[in-house]
Amino acid sequence: MTTVTCHHQESNCPPNSCSSLLNGGGYQFQDGSSNRIWQPDGCNIRYRNIQENVLCLKRMAASNHQQKTPLLAIVGDSRLRQLRDEFIYQITGNDTDDLANPALFLDEDWRTLGSPCSMPDILVLGAGSHTAKDCEFANLKQKDCVAKYKREFEGLLPLLSQLPPSVVMIWMPQANVNQTSMDLRGNSFFKRGVNSANMVLYNNAIKEVLEKNPGHRLKYWGSFYTSSIDFADGIDGIHLGIDSKHHMMQLLMNWMCNYVDHDLESSHWPFSSIPERATYCCIDSC
C-alpha cells in the first residue's frame, strides 16, 4: 500500500557542523528539570515548535527556485508510518497516530496524489520485524532468515545507488523491543520472533553490508535505535511512544533545518530540488 500526504504551508549548530545527528548521542536531563532532551555527539539539538518547523520548510522553499514539489518518501512498516504521522503532527498539530494514541480512530481514504515518476528529495526506509516474525511462523532458524535478509539488502543497495545524487537516503533500523510491555499487552501476533536480540541481528546485517560497501550513499540512522532503548515508551512494546517519536522527529528536523536556520544568503540546502512554494509531501508504504 502506498500513500502520499501533502501539506501546503503559506541554531545551535552552523550548517553542516553536526553530522552526528543521525549517529551518536543520548538523553540528558535539563538543568533543574525532570525533562529529558536528546544530546547528539558534537553539538546541541534545537527543539522546534510547529511555527518554527513551518518556518524551516518555508526557508527550504526559498533557498531554491526549481518548480518541483519537495517530496519526503517514507517507505517501510508501521514504525515508519508512525514517523510520517509525527512529521504531520509537528507541522500541523494534528495527531494521526493510533499506534501511540489508543484514543484515536482513523478511517483513512487511501489514494495516490503524486506522480509515480517523481523522485523524492529525502527517502527514509527500513524493514525487518515482519521478516523476523514470518521466520518464526515458518519454523525457520533466525540465522538463516538473517542471512537471506542480508543477501536481499546486498541486492537492494546497488539499486538505491541508481537514484539521482539529489536524493538523500536514510535507513531507519529496527527499534528495540520492550518485552515487558509486549507481554502485558498479549501481543501474540508479533510475540514470536520479534524480540530485541533478533532486532540486533537484523540491524547488524544492514551495518555489515554498509561497512563492506564504503562508497554507498545510504545514511544509517543509528541514533534511532539508541533512542528506542533509552526511551522505551511504546504502549505495546513494539511501536514508538509519544515521547520517543517527538525526539526522533526533532532530530530529523534538525538534520534538515540546520542548513536553513541561518541567513538564507549563506545557506546551502543540500537537496537540489526545493521549490519556491512551501508544499511538502510524504509517501509511505506498508
- pLDDT number for residue 186: 64
Domains belonging to the chain, first-starting first, are 2-285 (3.40.50)
- pLDDT number for residue 18: 66
Grid cell listed for 261 = 536556520
pLDDT in tens, the chain (286 residues): 333 444 433 333 334 446 678 887 887 777 666 677 778 877 778 889 989 988 888 877 776 555 455 677 889 888 888 888 888 888 888 876 655 555 655 556 566 656 666 788 889 999 999 999 999 999 999 999 999 999 999 999 999 999 999 888 999 999 888 877 777 766 555 567 888 899 999 999 999 999 999 999 999 999 888 888 877 777 777 888 888 888 888 988 888 887 766 544 334 444 433 333 334 444 444 4
**What DSSP assignment string belongs to the chain?**
-EEEEEEE----S-TT--GGGGT-EEEEEPTTSS-EEEEETTS------HHHHHHHHHHHHHT-------EEEEESSHHHHHHHHHHHHHHH-----TTT-TT----------S-TTPPPSEEEE---HHHHHHHHHTT--HHHHHHHHHHHHHHHHHHHHTS-TT-EEEE-PPPPP-HHHHHHHT-HHHHTT-SHHHHHHHHHHHHHHHHH-TT--EEE-HHHHHHHHHT---SSSSS--HHHHHHHHHHHHHHHHTTTSS-GGG---S-TT--SS-EEEEEEE-
- pLDDT number for residue 265: 38
